[in-house]
Amino acid sequence: MQNQKLFNVAVVGATGAVGEQIIKLLEERNFPVNRLKLLASSKSAGLKLKFKGQDIIVEEATPESFKDVDIALFSAGGAISKELVPHAVRSGAVCIDNTNAFRMDPETPLIVPEVNMDKINEHKGIIANPNCSTIQMVAALKPLYDRYGIDRIIVSTYQAVSGAGSKAIAETMRQSKEILEGNDPEPQILPVGSLPVKHQIAFNAIPQIDKFEDNGFTLEEMKMIRETQKIMGDDSLKVTATCVRIPVVYGHSESVYVELKNDFEIEDVRSLLSDAPGVVVVDDPANQRYPLATDAAGKLDVFVGRIRKDLYNNRALNMWIVSDNLLKGAAWNAVQIAEYIAIQQ
């Protein structure tokens, strides 16, 4: 980055799965950090984390933590964001919030840089980072939306356990090991840590991510519906989602059916996506090449393949969209937003 100004940056939820990736990206991208403040719950306070070769002691996140902080990245859950983001804003920090707390707040822009960076300056101290499963889908669909218009999206997800945090990763590994040893694993975390019923995730597929709403959809599914409409700036966009957790560690996959508003040639779609920022087309059936979670893990891009015209609707197509849910789906999207803010100042 060309920017000379240095920023005091706070990472809230520094010891979590996403926080860890944010710290790594700030270092790798050589983000113009003056001072990095690592915040977490009292349980994690006192831990030491590395940043550019230096130890930084994790501090407890409190309302007073944000003095002199210029940019605060929140990934410690919705309750923490609801409590602490307003304090951070009052202290003068620009908050990039990776939780569900402010995403649908009309005053808060919900940003995927490749899609609607033009809305970022409408912020009043808070910029919301969308849900992981939404980000990768809208990044891949935006070029189609602009060129052809989109009438309807029907998506089924294959979501990685890391989206539910480090404990869900550990649980998946523990359960897998127990099953391989011939034992019965006792589920403790998934599908939703705060709900009473737990299901086995190892060698299974759980059609529940987050709590159920009264309409029979889960909150995760409603996030994909509402957030897609907000990010695209189009409340008339019809979205249906089924969100499913599968035993993958990193990388969400999505089977997406899209009805466009205009006729298209499938080759034009493929070249449109190949030219799209942040999108990589991996689509060579003859050589069995398509996006895979294991290939996307650790990468910043959104990978798209299995692009094919629907057989019964001339204006519809199917695609397979994969991205690292902790990176483009969370940490990288947040750091992209932070980089934009840094460049502007």
Spatial neighbors of 296 by CB under 8 A, at least 6 apart, are: 250, 251, 303, 322, 323, 324
Which is nearest to 133 in space by CA: 151, 153, 106? 153
94 is in an annotated binding site: no
CB of 209 closer than 8 Å to CB of 242: no
44 is in an annotated binding site: yes
CB of 220 closer than 8 Å to CB of 211: no
Beta strands at 252-260 and 150-158: parallel, antiparallel or unpaired: antiparallel
Beta strands at 238-242 and 150-158: parallel, antiparallel or unpaired: parallel
Question: Could you give the C-alpha distances from 60 to 40, 57, 116, in angstroms and in order?
Answer: 5, 10, 34
Burial class (CB in 10 A: 0-12, 13-18, 19+), 143: buried
17 is in an annotated binding site: yes
Can 132 be counted among the known catalytic residues?
A: yes
| Beta carbon nearer to its own copies, 127 or 293 | 293
As measured in angstroms, the least distance from the Cβ of 264 to its own copies is 14
Can 252 be counted among the known catalytic residues?
A: yes
Question: Could you give the C-alpha distances from 230 to 53, 84, 240, 311, in angstroms and in order?
Answer: 40, 24, 15, 30
Contact residues: its own copies, CB under 8 A: 152, 154, 156, 158, 173, 176-177, 180, 191-192, 195-197, 199-200, 203-208, 212, 215-217, 225, 238-240, 242, 244, 246-249, 253, 255, 257, 266, 285-294, 305-313, 316, 318, 320
Cα first-last separation, the chain:
12
| Beta carbon nearer to its own copies, 41 or 229 | 229
As measured in angstroms, the least distance from the Cβ of 110 to its own copies is 19
| Beta carbon nearer to its own copies, 20 or 283 | 283
| Beta carbon nearer to its own copies, 90 or 211 | 211
CA distance 75 to 141: 26
The single residue of 95, 123, 132, 243 carrying the catalytic annotation is 132
Neighbours of 273 (CB within 10 A): 23
CA distance 13 to 16: 6
Please state whether the peptide bond connecting residue 86 to the residue before it is cis, i.e. omega within 30 degrees of 0.
Answer: no
344 is in an annotated binding site: no
As measured in angstroms, the least distance from the Cβ of 272 to its own copies is 16
91 is in an annotated binding site: no
**Coil, strand or helix at 328:** helix
164 is in an annotated binding site: no
As measured in angstroms, the least distance from the Cβ of 240 to its own copies is 6
| Beta carbon nearer to its own copies, 8 or 318 | 318
As measured in angstroms, the least distance from the Cβ of 139 to its own copies is 18
As measured in angstroms, the least distance from the Cβ of 15 to its own copies is 23
162 is in an annotated binding site: yes
| Beta carbon nearer to its own copies, 8 or 176 | 176
Binding residues for phosphate: 103
Binding residues: 15-18, 43-44, 103, 159, 162-163, 185, 245, 325
Binding residues for NADP(+): 15-18, 43-44, 162-163, 185, 325
Residue numbers annotated as active site:
132, 252
Binding residues for substrate: 159, 245
